[in-house]
Structure 1
């Protein structure tokens, strides 16, 4: 993604710093759309790139990408016609069943999705679904814990893109499933919060199928000169509505053909144990 020619680099830096301070302090900030034009997606990705590069320079390891806005309803809500993407760092990955410490996130929400792990690079922007099928080593059930550094989730498309596509954490299942054993379009998802069913959906609810989301992501990143590589984790997008999470909440999702994955949010920490 290239920086919008109409936006000064100092504006990009100011927006990136606003989001970085919110993440570091645990105090949500105001939207960055007061700095960026409402539809300047290129500038928003430039802001995202600043903080991703800062993270990498500080020693954080990029292990993949996520797609967001794969629901047509959410796209209409934000006035866009395509998904967005963000970077996944190794320190965002939570082991299946592990507890998420109190104060780790600002205002988390949980969504269930299909994760793909690549066994080959996808360097060509003319990528097809066949290329993706050949490149994917296996699929896993996943929980994405989305989070916003913007107070009250008061976001537009430029806010969420600038904020690394509202990335928070992700939890992966532990049993790999080859794609020749499952039709990702037809999988059925059930998300439980405690004992209550709070979200459900199917593979086709994610841009018509998770492979479609992966093709879009691979093509977009290859065209930008930063292609998906072997070993990358790809979170393909939510299969149902995201659900707000609070201290003590436990979540588990089961995706037919892929298995289940779960996590729990710790209860509130004692004073002084937060960020």
Structure 2
């Protein structure tokens, strides 16, 4: 894609945020959009937001589980940026209207105690950089109509980011086996899905390693204090006004996201 097309695609996504109206897939309008093109479109939006005063508070990795890859018909992870405005207090009523097509994913969130910069980051490096983990519910969203996305679409759309609710009980990594950690996902008190940490590239730590190395190839790094979401343990679940979603992780605890009634 030429620079003008990158700007135009980014503008279409920014308009979708502003109007609340999803757009057709970018890969329909730009069938030759590459992964690099998609990240360029994402970068234009991030610069627009930060120029307006938003602050980058972390990153997310998406499409790390086989369930999510099957659900969206892709076969490779992606990453996006977490802004300060995306962090939602636990148990506060979340207005459904702030999203276009929200769905929820249970994840463990890494909070970094020191910077992590690739390339060449190993699992040991990643473990050493994590200060603690928190239970999390990511609210993913899509500016693409009906979630009709291919990999470049979701990358361009900031990895389908929407918001995140973090739990408040920090747990150190040395007290956990993330690969074997089980998760229960409840909606309105009813169990709707289960999973284990191993669904995320074998272990959520592997997603952190992948992210640090991919960012490093572009001269970027993860900073101390940043939150990293490594990917969903289950398939994504649609939510409606009035829903209460709770994820419970073995050894980590639980987190609840409550969506305001109509």
Superposition TM-score tier, normalisation by shorter sequence? over 0.9
The answer to whether residue 114 in structure 2 is matched with residue 124 in structure 1 is no
* Aligned equivalent of 2:195: 201
**Structure 1 residue 11 displacement after superposition:** 0.6
Q: Residue 211 of structure 1: which of 171, 196, 205 is its match? A: 205
Asked whether 1:236 is paired with 2:230, we answer yes
Deviations 1:3-45 (A, max 9, x none): xxxx111111111111110111111111111233356111011
Per residue, is there more helix in 1 or in 2? Answer: 2
In the aligned structure 1, how far is the partner of 2:190 from the partner of 2:224? 37
Which of 123, 136, 145 is 2:139 aligned to?
145
SS at match of 2:104: strand
The 5 A counterparts of 1:96-111 are 96-111=90-105
Return the alpha-carbon distance in structure 1 between the equivalents of residues 172 and 221 of structure 2: 22
Q: For structure 2, which runs of at least 5 residues remain unmatched after alignment? A: none
Instruction: Please state whether the residue corresponding to 2:98 is helix, strand or coil.
Output: coil
- Pairwise CA RMSD of aligned residues? 1.3
Match of 1:86 in 2: 80
TM-score, structure 2 as length reference: 0.96
Query: What's the CA shift for 1:77?
Result: 6.2
Q: Report how far residue 73 of structure 1 moved.
A: 4.5
Per the alignment, do residues 195 and 79 of structure 1 end up closer, same or farther by CA in structure 2, a change over 3 Å counting?
closer
Identify the residue that residue 34 of structure 2 maps to in structure 1. 40
Q: Secondary structure at the match of 1:53?
A: helix
Q: Tell me the CA shift for residue 78 of structure 1.
A: 5.5
| Cα distance change on mapping 1:194 and 1:158 into 2, 3 Å | same
CA distance in 2, matches of 1:81, 1:11: 26
2:100 is aligned with 1:71: no
Moved over 2 A (4+): 34-39, 72-82
Q: 1:106 to 1:256 in 2, by over 3 A?
A: same
For the residue of structure 1 that corresponds to 2:245, the secondary structure is: strand
Q: Tell me if the contact between 2:67 and 2:234 (Cα under 8 Å) persists in the aligned partners.
A: no
> Which residue of 2 is the match for residue 169 of structure 1?
163
Counterpart check, 1:190 vs 2:184? yes
Q: Deviations for 1:129-168, whole angstroms, at most 9, x for unmatched residues? A: 0001110000011000000011111111111010000000
Question: 2:68–2:234: 8 Å Cα contact kept in structure 1?
Answer: no
Task: State the shift of 1:75 in Å.
Answer: 3.4
User: Is the Cα–Cα contact under 8 Å of residues 36 and 43 in structure 1 kept in the other structure?
Assistant: no
Pick closer, same or farther for the CA change 1:77–1:42 going to 2, 3 Å: farther
Determine the structure 1 residue equivalent to 2:216. Answer: 222
- Number of aligned residue pairs: give it: 262
Distance 2:218 2:73 in 1: 23
- Aligned 8 A contact 1:199 1:242 in 2: no
